[in-house]
Chains A and B, each alone.
Chain A
Amino acid sequence: DAEITQSPRHKITETGRQVTLACHQTWNHNNMFWYRQDLGHGLRLIHYSYGVQDTNKGEVSDGYSVSRSNTEDLPLTLESAASSQTSVYFCASGSGTGNYEQYFGPGTRLTVT
């Protein structure tokens, strides 16, 4: 069955380190999104991509980057992790062809100490 996976599911890192969170989908969706979820803020968009080589900033993009080298993957990189980036990160994908539905992965809980 087609699915969307994230790895790792849990990560503890130190302030200043570079961290990359993986997202992989097998639906062949054009659109992929990264969100962070914090108490009281719901889901906030970090970066998104509408296809290979396309990336766009969301509302909370500072300190994060993404790259889209193929349809299936959109890794999220924290250039220099900060304690404020402790959060749960969700990846989502959608077909984008006149269809707005998004399907979410299981999430990665990141703790920056």
Chain B
Amino acid sequence: GENVEQHPSTLSVQEGDSAVIKCTYSDSASNYFPWYKQELGKGPQLIIDIRSNVGEKKDQRIAVTLNKTAKHFSLHITETQPEDSAVYFCAASRPSNTGKLIFGQGTTLQVKP
């Protein structure tokens, strides 16, 4: 079945450095790739998403890149701040699934002041 692999499982960076989280997906028909941020004790929050018709999308300090040929996509956070510390999840969906998402295993990001 459809599978999404996420790496690394934990990531520790110094405040101000960049962080990169990578995901690979198995279903070549997938066309929607969101990223969620989950803070302790809360539900996941959508922070950015990308569709298969674009290769990159930016929103202030975060960006997502997509390589359809290699079937992988990445989250880039620049100028990290302590409040970026959280668990990040990637996900993928194919057009026929009407919003049904397959999630990666999550990455715990720690930003050290």
Task: Report which A residues bind B (CB closer than 8 A).
Answer: 31, 33, 35, 40-45, 48, 50, 58-59, 90, 92, 94, 96, 99-107
Residues of A within 8 A of B103 (CB): 35, 42-44
Q: How many A-B residue pairs have CB under 8 A?
A: 57
Q: How far is the CB of B94 from chain A (nearest CB, A)?
A: 10
**Is B99 touching A102 in the complex (CB atoms < 8 A)?**
yes
Which A residue's beta carbon lies closest to that of B94? A100
| Interface membership of B89, Cβ < 8 A | yes
Which stretch, B10-18, B39-47, B58-66, touches the partner chain A?
B39-47
Which A residue's beta carbon lies closest to that of B107? A42
Partner of A101, one of B1, B49, B102, B106: B49
Contact with A along B85-113 (1 / 0, CB 8 A): 00001000100001111111110000000
Residues of B within 8 A of A101 (CB): 34, 46, 49, 99
Which B residue's beta carbon lies closest to that of A103? B46
Given contacts A45-B100, A50-B98, A107-B42, contact A100 B105 (CB under 8 A): no
Which B residue's beta carbon lies closest to that of A45? B100
**Is B44 touching A104 in the complex (CB atoms < 8 A)?**
yes
Residues of B within 8 A of A99 (CB): 99
The 10 closest A-B pairs by CB, nearest first: A104-B43, A43-B103, A42-B105, A100-B32, A42-B103, A94-B99, A100-B99, A104-B44, A31-B99, A42-B106
Given contacts A90-B43, A102-B46, contact A48 B104 (CB under 8 A): no
Residues of B within 8 A of A35 (CB): 103
Instruction: Beyond A33-B100, A100-B34, list 5 extra A-B contacts (CB 8 Å).
Output: A43-B89, A58-B100, A96-B98, A101-B46, A104-B45
Residues of A within 8 A of B45 (CB): 104
Q: How far is the CB of B53 from chain A (nearest CB, A)?
A: 13
A96–B32 alpha-carbon span in the complex (Å):
13
Residues of B within 8 A of A43 (CB): 44, 89, 103
